[in-house]
Structure 1
Amino acid sequence: MPQSLIKDILIIFACSIPVVLLLKRIHLPLVVGFLFTGALIGSHGLGLITNAQSVDTLAELGLALLLFSVGLEFSLDSFAFIRKRAMTVALAQIILTCGAGWLMGHWLGWPLGRSLYFGCVISLSSSAIVLSIFYEKKMGDSVPGRLTTTILIVQDLAFIPMIVLLPLLGPDTPNDSLLLMTLANRGVAILVLIAIVFFGRLIINQVMRHIATLGQRQMFVIAVLILGLGISWLTASMGLSFALGAFVGGLLIGFTSYKHQALAEVAPFRHCFNSLFFVSIGMLLNIQFVWDNFSIILLVLLLIPLTKLFITVGISTLVKIPLRVGIVTGLALAQIGEFSFLLVHNGFRAGVIGPYLHDLIIAVAVFNMMLTPFLILNAHKWAAHINQLLLTTKRFTKFACDDKQTISPIRQKLVDHVIICGFGPLGETLSHLFDKHNTPYVVLELNPKTIQRIRKKNVIAFYGDGTSEEILYESRIENAKLIAITVPDFLDNIAIIKQARSLNPDLQIITRSKYRSDVDKLYAAGANVVISEELEGGIEMARYGLKMVGIPVNEVDQLMTHIREYGSADFFN
């Protein structure tokens, strides 16, 4: 690897840490810190990074991993659950926003192709930023959260025809015969992708199950990366985008029951390269251009969120979605997304957009993304105020609804439940006892055969372990009463305890320890009760031994009761 590239990466991370920590103190998200870092160290800022092309290469890989995770999180249940109204809002929002962008460009005197391209760019929103905020604030299961997620998924899918067809609007568009040939080639490429998704969906679950059955975590990670990178290479060789292939690869794994574990496994890579992606976007910000064109940037920066808000609210109202929901959804979708940067990059390369429009979109997008957390976190409060004002007329009262009604049916069952991490003999014993007392529980297990077996008994089970924040969230840990950690590995135990405690401070945590010397460490990590296998074995042997040497049974039973009142691991502490 070239020394200059290593130096640039070191500069990026070295500058990112203090900037992100500073902004975190004023409660701004990581994305804002990375964007600000890029603007600060880029060639238009302090000029600390000179090899922008190398960083762009890493950023493209970061975007591919980001889109791979977006594909992993794709779920057909999101469409089936909200059904026709959400799909209507999603499709109409994209079409009308494209039209509004075209009108905006026409008003500013841009050519037809450039205006249409601009409309497509602003019609897409950021799945990465919006979903991360929803996830952090536990907003994903609300009505606005599920509606926004559905719209984002439809936007992500709409990006595919955009990336294929829009570059043909450039000045270098071939003549009619070559144009038809180009369209035919790209049509064939899309059909190949559709075939991969259709046929791959039929076999991918069996393939991933066989790999998971090997019990080798490294093989699982390698298989996930091979699938993502392999399809990315295929799409790039067919003249499509590398990142598009990563999205399709994630989409395939997202159809399987191993999606949550795959998402957990690629999380370290994703977070690392995503930071490079957002820093590189910030580096594209031309500070001098912002200064020279401040008024037009401010105008477009205001027009884009307002346009997307009014369109979303208008369509939502027409299909009888509550006004408050439409407002929150419109504010959540107010930014320009990561797919838009790929469109801008390809459009600039194809000559559809020139340097001026390129710099304008980048400037607006960077500031727009920085405002997104502020808009989302205040959306409910603003929507409530607006809703209260408009409810003076009875027209809007019929649109009222309860957010809890749209929580996924599976996750809706998980209230005051137990999470069992590991379903070996110990975990299965616990499940039988919980069944006898009608206590709801969910199982996290890494053995795919075990998952299949217990799902046949209508037990809610997920493939993965409790070290993953994503899987614990899917298990609805925020509403759980207890997590029982039955896995024997000490380090896994520590990681699960810390992760669970961070997500639910009031959660009761019970776990096991093979050695007495590890008990205190597990308590320090946050466990409420630790069962020491050495002490439990010793106590049981002592119970039988004392009786065998003639100690009265009532005295032995009294001693055992006294020990268990303290908990076996605490009594001799």
Structure 2
Amino acid sequence: MALLGAAVIAVPLFKRIGLGSVLGYLAAGLLLGPSGIGLIHDPESILTTAELGVVMFLFIIGLEMEPSKLWALRKQIFGLGVIQVAGCGALLTGVGVLLGFAPVVAFIFGMGFVMTSTAIVMQILGERGELSTDSGQRMVSILLLEDLAIVPLLAIVAILAPGGGEEVDMITRLLSIAAPIGAVLLLIFIGQRIMNPFFALLASSKLREVMTAAALLVIFGAALLFQASGLSMAMGAFLAGVLLSTSTFRHQLEADVEPFRGILLGLFFLAVGMSLDLGIVGQNWQIIAISVVAYMGVKAAGIYVIARLLKASHAVALERAVLMGQGGEFAFVLYTTAVSAGIIDGPTNAIFTATVIVSMVLTPFFIIGLRFVMPKAAEQSMEGVEAADGLSGRILIIGFGRFGQIASQPLLAMRHSVSIIDNDTEMIRAAAQIGFKVYYGDGTRLDILHAAGADTADLILICTDRKEQTTRIAELMRDEFPLVRVMARAFDRGHAIELVKAGVEYQLREMFESALEFGGAAVRALGASEEEAAEVVEGVRDRDRQRFELQLAGEDWRGLGRLLLSNAQEQAREGGVTVAEEAAEDAVAKSTQPTQPV
């Protein structure tokens, strides 16, 4: 009760004054812990349970990372991630030596501090809605690599332990390597062969609590499997999420787990705040203060330099340095293991742990300071804007920019019942001034779609202007509202193919028809009759449709070139322009070269 009460009071208060939810949790934990009013005397026990919040958080991140998306990030994970971990690790080890620690102890201290707090960074990126941005994806990639790095680091601690390297026989070494590999392979097998039929069987019971229990079973089962094999629990949950990311039950699982994830992640931050022993900080304040400044400064500088060398902009590099400049929760695991191995003693561990916790506490303040250095766009005002709730229009339009405004007019002219949602409050207010009723809502959220009446609509028009957002909404429709007819605005040919595969009934590239009409007008301006211009335009439209169907079926570019050639030859036989045939022959000759789809 005390923990919940403190969180309920502190978090909204801190968010209202602009300090963020993470700092609210940390402050509440510090107040309740041994260094505060002493209501909680054993923060370690709470921290052990609260780490499940991080586990669930990574499971939800995994649900967003389809294997194809994860494969696309491989260069960032094993390229950028390795460079940052190795580079900052070397720098921080050097800092530890300069502070007077033995080289081995400095290495442990530095490598523990290298591992950024996944919970803090993910929470901040999630609150900002930046997890799916390019910058956010790079930070997620680095965090994944850092989480993976705990495995070889724990192995290094075992080797560095006094006498440890001589006592480990060959069989034990082989088992220590085989166990993690076996755990990964076993989880992949279960995820591909068993999880989907398992959830399908449970879904037939129509009992939501059973599905929720099954989701928790999968998360904790994967986490415990990885922990037993020497890997990180969080990585087990993440891999389970990735394996379920293509499942038809993906969004249901996310909705079931989200409440538990939020509560446990908040509990984790509370426990971190309680773990800060102000007595130890007071006794060793000089070395802790110097360590915090030196380690955060050097790590942030290293991250900034690496980002700039890899062509990131100043703004992106600075933001990454501030967000990732602190130590993380996996440092506690590394330091505790080093104590058990006899590499560091208890007081040294207390200093290291306090340094990491202080860095985590300071991070929200640095982020606030970053706003003054790099002002962000002001948050949208909700004045005069009504949130989507209980809508029941037969047609739902998602996105009311230039495309959505034009698409809505024939429907309104025919007096159809239309509901419109958008997440741009300025546009909503502008639409109200010319008589359009637009509700505020993010179409990528399942709860908003339910509130907007997606489950009862006859037709849904996705008119958003971002490719990823449009595809995400289309996938939600396919998985959650399979009986609803969906039409979508496509960005280009490749995006149109994505949308068709996501179950969209009709798609239209946003500039195709307007550009075609523009070309027809150009032909007429050069002397063609209305009939000739209409015939040419229709021919282009027909050939585009055929090319699209071939690409959708997976045909290669040589097949497309042959289609162009046959169409052009037919046109030439009928008295068409021979230039088309020459262009088609050229397409066949160059068909092995990749081309950007339009």
Q: TM-score range by the shorter chain?
A: 0.5 to 0.7
Q: Distance in 1 between matches of 2:168 and 2:21?
A: 46
Tell me the equivalent position of 1:131. 122
- Name the amino acid aligned to 1:192: G
- Extract unaligned runs of 5+ from structure 2: 377-397, 405-420, 422-442, 464-469, 487-496, 505-598
* Cα drift, residue 121 of structure 1: 1.0
Q: Distance in 2 between matches of 1:350 and 1:267?
A: 37
Q: Distance in 2 between matches of 1:65 and 1:92?
A: 28
The answer to whether the Cα contact below 8 Å between 2:66 and 2:245 also exists between their aligned partners in 1 is yes
1:193 aligns with 2:193: no
SS at match of 1:458: helix
SS at match of 2:164: coil
Tell me the equivalent position of 1:458. 500
The answer to whether the Cα contact below 8 Å between 1:328 and 1:380 also exists between their aligned partners in 2 is no
* Cα drift, residue 272 of structure 1: 1.9
Tell me the equivalent position of 2:193. 203
The answer to whether the Cα contact below 8 Å between 1:204 and 1:256 also exists between their aligned partners in 2 is no
* Cα drift, residue 152 of structure 1: 1.8
Once the two structures are superposed, the pairs formed by residues 32-431 of structure 1 within 5 Å of their partners are: 32-52=23-43, 54-74=45-65, 76=67, 84=75, 87-171=78-162, 174=164, 176-203=166-193, 206-207=196-197, 210-211=200-201, 214=204, 215-238=206-229, 242-254=233-245, 256=247, 258-379=249-370, 382=373, 416=401, 419=443, 421=449, 429-431=458-460
Q: Would the alpha carbon gap of residues 142 and 15 (structure 1) be closer, same or farther in structure 2, given more than 3 Å must change?
A: closer
Q: Deviations 1:268-298 (Å, cap 9, x if unpaired)?
A: 2122222222222222212122112222222
The answer to whether the Cα contact below 8 Å between 1:106 and 1:115 also exists between their aligned partners in 2 is yes
Q: Distance in 2 between matches of 1:349 and 1:175?
A: 15
- Name the amino acid aligned to 1:29: G
The answer to whether the Cα contact below 8 Å between 1:70 and 1:127 also exists between their aligned partners in 2 is no
The answer to whether the Cα contact below 8 Å between 2:33 and 2:274 also exists between their aligned partners in 1 is yes
Tell me the equivalent position of 2:392. none
* Cα drift, residue 190 of structure 1: 0.9
1:20 aligns with 2:11: yes
Question: Identity percentage over the alignment?
Answer: 26
Q: Would the alpha carbon gap of residues 176 and 83 (structure 1) be closer, same or farther in structure 2, given more than 3 Å must change?
A: closer
* Cα drift, residue 193 of structure 1: 2.1
* Cα drift, residue 299 of structure 1: 1.7
Q: Deviations 1:46-101 (Å, cap 9, x if unpaired)?
A: 32223445424423444443444454454556655567467533211001111122
The answer to whether the Cα contact below 8 Å between 2:92 and 2:111 also exists between their aligned partners in 1 is yes
Greater alpha carbon shift after TM alignment, 98-107 vs 318-327: 318-327
Q: Distance in 2 between matches of 1:27 and 1:433?
A: 34
- Name the amino acid aligned to 1:324: A
The answer to whether the Cα contact below 8 Å between 1:43 and 1:49 also exists between their aligned partners in 2 is yes
Q: Distance in 1 between matches of 2:461 and 2:158?
A: 60
Residue-pair matches, total: 421
Q: Distance in 2 between matches of 1:433 and 1:320?
A: 35
* Cα drift, residue 453 of structure 1: 11
Bigger radius of gyration among the two: 2
- Name the amino acid aligned to 1:300: S
Alignment RMSD? 3.9
SS at match of 1:27: coil
- Name the amino acid aligned to 2:181: L
- Name the amino acid aligned to 2:355: V
Q: Would the alpha carbon gap of residues 415 and 129 (structure 1) be closer, same or farther in structure 2, given more than 3 Å must change?
A: farther
SS at match of 2:100: coil
Q: Distance in 2 between matches of 1:87 and 1:325?
A: 20
* Cα drift, residue 383 of structure 1: 5.6
The answer to whether the Cα contact below 8 Å between 1:62 and 1:270 also exists between their aligned partners in 2 is yes
Q: Distance in 1 between matches of 2:301 and 2:273?
A: 28
Q: Distance in 1 between matches of 2:77 and 2:168?
A: 39
The answer to whether the Cα contact below 8 Å between 1:44 and 1:288 also exists between their aligned partners in 2 is yes
Q: Would the alpha carbon gap of residues 103 and 446 (structure 1) be closer, same or farther in structure 2, given more than 3 Å must change?
A: same
SS at match of 1:58: helix
- Name the amino acid aligned to 2:29: G
TM-score with structure 2 setting the length? 0.61
TM-score with structure 1 setting the length? 0.63
Q: Would the alpha carbon gap of residues 125 and 460 (structure 1) be closer, same or farther in structure 2, given more than 3 Å must change?
A: same
* Cα drift, residue 195 of structure 1: 0.8
Q: Would the alpha carbon gap of residues 60 and 142 (structure 1) be closer, same or farther in structure 2, given more than 3 Å must change?
A: closer
Q: Would the alpha carbon gap of residues 118 and 258 (structure 1) be closer, same or farther in structure 2, given more than 3 Å must change?
A: farther
* Cα drift, residue 347 of structure 1: 3.1
